[in-house]
Amino acid sequence: MSAPRSRALAQLEAAIHRATNPVEAQCLRAERAGLLARQGQLERARSAVDELAAQLAWQPNNPTLRAWLTLAEGLHGYYSVIGREAQPTLELAYSIAKTAKGAVRLQATTAAWLANLAFANDDMPRMAALIREALDSAAPEHHGARARATLVAGYAYHFAGSADMAQHWYEASRRHAIAEGDESHLSALMHNQAWMRASQARMALLFDGADNASAVTHALMGAESIGHYDAGIGTASLGSLVPMLRAQVLTAQGRWAEALALFNANFKSAMDEGLQRIAPCLLADRAWCELNLGRADAARSLAAAADHALREPCDLDDSAMAHARLAQTCAGLHDQDAAARHRASAAQQIVTHREQQRHLRALLDRSLEGLDPARC
């Protein structure tokens, strides 16, 4: 059975058909290319971008078209390999959009996407400023820009440990995505919520000794729901995300063989798709699974790989969890010196992470002061 047709895509194609101004039609085609990229239809998106780029060569002084096209190219890069190569292109789209007179929706949309990348790059002050800029400038009917900006606010609050506040922003994002008919955004919303819930459940198990079985179960249900939803709407981008999320949650549940099957089948594609920053966590969990299945040599090899991966860029919370998992694994391998080293690193990093969470909550509260998610 084929996936149902995207309502957002159908609306864009209808708008292209109705357009009487050729430049307006080209801008809409560029916006359509960006949507195709978000849906994982990367070849179609690339073809559309290339065709429009050839047409733009004949009208290089049109900043609105250039910005929409550059945004589409940036989204193609982002959804091909998450985060890699997209930053300079989206920065350029944002800069060009600023020069386009009257292009309010475009300007708000590029600001919202840059906020998304600022969060990924741990530039929290810029992220908060860009969220505010997008929400202050977007008109009420600019659902795409508002959906993205409120999503970033939601997962920023969630990352900061404020799940209740995050939920209000998630609801705003869902409302705008539904109004836009943007199934791909609803998928992104589900992904972000599930990743954040899983991360916080895993962190509680590793650092608080909490019996967090219900939270872990909820995280697994969320991961499985994403897979079903994406299959239903035909989203094909970044196919390793859900298997890696499921594998980490299954590890937390002690379902070693099931977790390992997912790790082994999807780890390479996860690295190819830009998930290197969480490689230490993935490798440490794989080592823990192997140890619990009685395969000490495999566990030792994977623990060494995770230790080596920690020398590369890794977010502080993921690094802390990787060290905590490696401390458990090394203790199980009777390497008490390594276990103590990883335990000390984990303890130091989790304290720093929780302090950063407090600072982030305060930053978001200041930057978004006066904004009611129910009205954004």
Four-CA torsion 290, 276, 111, 144, nearest 10 degrees: -50
Q: How high is the pLDDT of residue 155?
A: 96
Positive/negative CA dihedral, 350, 351, 352, 356: positive
42/38 Cα distance (integer angstroms):
8
360/358 Cα distance (integer angstroms):
5
Asked whether residue 363 is domain-assigned, the answer is no
Cβ-based neighbour number of residue 344 at 10 Å: 12
Split into its structural domains, the chain has a count of 1
- For the ranges 25-34, 266-275, 331-340, the lowest mean pLDDT is seen at 266-275
Range of the domain at 82: 9-102
Average model confidence (pLDDT) across the chain? 91
| C-beta separation of 109 from 130 below 8 A | no
Asked whether residue 88 is domain-assigned, the answer is yes
Chain-centroid distance, C-alpha 151: 10
Asked whether residue 272 is domain-assigned, the answer is no
Backbone torsions φ then ψ of 102, nearest 5 degrees = 75, 5
37/63 Cα distance (integer angstroms):
21
Average pLDDT over residues 249-261: 94
CA distances from 289 to 163, 203, 259, 299, 346 (A): 29, 17, 7, 8, 19
303/284 Cα distance (integer angstroms):
6
Asked whether residue 66 is domain-assigned, the answer is yes
Q: How high is the pLDDT of residue 2?
A: 45
Residue with tokens 């002084």: 61
Digit-coded pLDDT (tens) for 136-167: 999 999 999 999 999 999 999 999 999 999 99
Asked whether residue 67 is domain-assigned, the answer is yes
Asked whether residue 359 is domain-assigned, the answer is no
For residue 141, what are the contacts with CB-CB under 8 A and spacing of at least 6? none
Strands (E), the chain: none
Helix/strand/coil for 291: helix
Question: pLDDT grade, residue 53 (50/70/90)?
Answer: very high
Proportion of the chain above pLDDT 70, given as a percent: 92
Question: pLDDT grade, residue 230 (50/70/90)?
Answer: low
| C-beta separation of 77 from 89 below 8 A | yes
Tell me the one-letter amino acid at 94: Y
Cβ-based neighbour number of residue 98 at 10 Å: 14
With CA atoms as reference, report the closest residue to 37 among 178, 236, 275.
236
236 has pLDDT over 80:
no
* DSSP state at residue 160: T
Average pLDDT over residues 313-327: 96
Asked whether residue 60 is domain-assigned, the answer is yes
Neighbouring C-alpha atoms within 13 Å toward the C-beta of 261: 5
Q: How high is the pLDDT of residue 227?
A: 62
With CA atoms as reference, report the closest residue to 40 among 78, 83, 1.
78
Asked whether residue 189 is domain-assigned, the answer is no
Cα-trace Rg, the chain = 22
Digit-coded pLDDT (tens) for 328-374: 999 999 999 999 999 999 999 999 999 999 999 999 999 999 999 99
Question: pLDDT grade, residue 224 (50/70/90)?
Answer: confident
With CA atoms as reference, report the closest residue to 370 among 80, 179, 132, 168.
132
